[in-house]
């Protein structure tokens, strides 16, 4: 643990992302106001004691919306990374121990998916399936599959070359059992690092899709959508855009730093370099 805390990236990243998670958890039980409740008399107010982050064009409390938006972002991050991890890691492991045609097929399929610009394809998918948060998560999640598949295959193949694997094989343990008992535990740290970074990317991607109107649908709060709605009000009421923008920057920075910190501390090669 001390090793982690000595790393500046990790400490800062952990603090920032913990704040986001905390905000999201708190918002599940309490927000200053109902973030979807409109109020014609209190529209477009600047920050005040009653509304620390001001109110939007419908008189909704921005702080409450930023808080519920955090839940939205975290759900998107978790679900997309989960999609990428389960399918991508499965495919990667399969490619690593089967090799040959399976390996080729999985890798070429990954290349194919990588060949498309991620955001454009996400737009394509959401415009076919219809704009919604679920479809946005699906679109982002699909793109995470090759990311995790490639990583898993690469690190798993290294593990497969190790002597203890040869030993396990000599004992007559089956390939799946080896994968489960020896390979997977040994590739967990790169997956964890990658997962954290992809988490940050997902928050950004969801904000982008919602900004384009393809992600979270109104009236649900999403940071990207808040930016979109703020657009025409921005010159007169800049805080409408500043706070959701800050929230996005904060969360993305936090999870990225956390990922960097994890890599610095968990990656044995990096440790040796110090």
Partner 1 sequence: MKKAMVIVLVMLVAASLSWAAVETPKKGGSLVLCVGDEPPGLDPTASASAAIDRVVYANIFEGLVKVDRDGKLVPGLAAKWEVSADAKVYTFQLRKGVAFHNGEPFNAQAAKWNLERGAAEGTKNAHPEFFRIIEKIETPDDATLRLTLKEVDALFLFRMAEGDSVMLPMKGFENTAAAPIGTGPFRFLEWKRGDSVSMERNPAYWNPQLPYLDKVTFRFIKDPSAQVAALRAGDVDLIGWLLAPELAKEIGKDKRFKVLSGASTSEVVMSTNNKVKPFDNQLVRQAMAHAIDRKAVIELVMSGYGTIIGSHWPPVTPYYKDLTGRFPYDPKKAKELLAKAGYPNGFDATIKLPAIYPYSQRAGEVIADMLGQVGIKLKIEIVEWGFWLDRIFKQKEFELSMIGHAEAWDIGIYANPNYYFQYDSQEFRDAYAKALKAATEGEKAKWFGRCQEIIAEDAVNGFLFLAPALSAMKAELTNWWQDYPTIALDCTQVWWNK
Question: Which residue in the set 29, 115, 235, 273 belongs to the binding site for partner 1 (CB under 8 A)?
Answer: 235
Cα separations (Å) of 11 from 53, 196, 251? 27, 14, 14
CA dist 75 and 20 (Å) reads 12
Q: Of 8-16, 32-40, 68-76, 99-107, which segment contacts partner 1 by CB under 8 A?
A: 32-40
Residue 43 contacts partner 1 per CB under 8 A: yes
Residue 40 contacts partner 1 per CB under 8 A: yes
Residue 170 contacts partner 1 per CB under 8 A: no
Judged by CB, which is closer to partner 1: 95, or 139?
139
CA dist 36 and 13 (Å) reads 30
Question: Which residue in the set 58, 82, 113, 175 belongs to the binding site for partner 1 (CB under 8 A)?
Answer: 58
CA dist 112 and 74 (Å) reads 28
Residue 128 contacts partner 1 per CB under 8 A: no
Residue 38 contacts partner 1 per CB under 8 A: yes
Q: Which 3 state secondary structure label does DSSP give 10? A: helix
Angle between the N-to-C axes of helices 62-83 and 188-211, in degrees from 0 to 180, rounded to the nearest 10: 130
Residue 12 contacts partner 1 per CB under 8 A: no
Residue 46 contacts partner 1 per CB under 8 A: no
The minimum distance between CB 37 and partner 1, in angstroms, equals: 7
Judged by CB, which is closer to partner 1: 4, or 233?
233
Question: Which residue in the set 32, 59, 90, 238 belongs to the binding site for partner 1 (CB under 8 A)?
Answer: 59
Q: How many of the other CB atoms lie within 10 Å of CB of 202?
A: 29
Residue pair 222/171 in contact by the 8 Å Cβ criterion: no
The two tokens of residue 135 are 């479809």
CA dist 47 and 61 (Å) reads 10
Question: Which residue ranges make up the site for partner 1 (CB under 8 A)?
Answer: 36-38, 40, 43, 57-59, 130-131, 213, 217-219, 231-236
């Amino acid at each position: 643990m001390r090793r982690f805390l000595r790393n500046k990236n990790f400490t800062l990243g952990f603090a920032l992302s913990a704040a986001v998670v905390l905000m999201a958890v708190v918002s599940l039980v309490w927000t200053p106001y109902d973030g979807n409740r409109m109020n014609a008399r209190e529209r477009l107010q600047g920050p005040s004691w009653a509304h620390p982050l001001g109110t939007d064009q419908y008189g909704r409390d921005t702080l409450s919306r930023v808080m519920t938006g955090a839940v939205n972002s975290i759900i998107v991050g978790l679900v997309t990374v989960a999609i990428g991890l389960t399918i991508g890691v499965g495919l990667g492991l399969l490619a690593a121990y089967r090799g040959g045609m399976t390996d080729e097929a999985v890798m070429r399929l990954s290349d194919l998916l990588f060949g498309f610009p991620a955001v454009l394809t996400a737009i394509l998918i959401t415009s076919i399936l219809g704009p919604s948060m679920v479809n946005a998560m699906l679109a982002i999640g699909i793109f995470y599959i090759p990311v995790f598949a490639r990583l898993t295959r690469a690190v798993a193949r290294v593990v497969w070359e190790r002597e203890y694997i040869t030993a396990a094989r000599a004992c007559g343990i089956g390939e799946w059992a080896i994968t489960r008992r020896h390979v997977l535990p040994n590739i967990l740290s790169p997956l964890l690092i990658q997962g954290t970074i992809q988490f940050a990317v997902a928050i950004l991607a969801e904000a982008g899709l919602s900004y384009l109107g393809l992600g979270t649908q109104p009236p649900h709060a999403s940071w990207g959508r808040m930016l979109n709605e703020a657009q025409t009000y921005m010159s007169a009421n800049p805080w409408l855009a500043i706070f959701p923008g800050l929230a996005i920057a904060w969360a993305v920075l936090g999870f990225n730093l956390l990922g960097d910190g994890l890599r610095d501390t968990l990656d044995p090669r990096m440790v040796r370099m110090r």
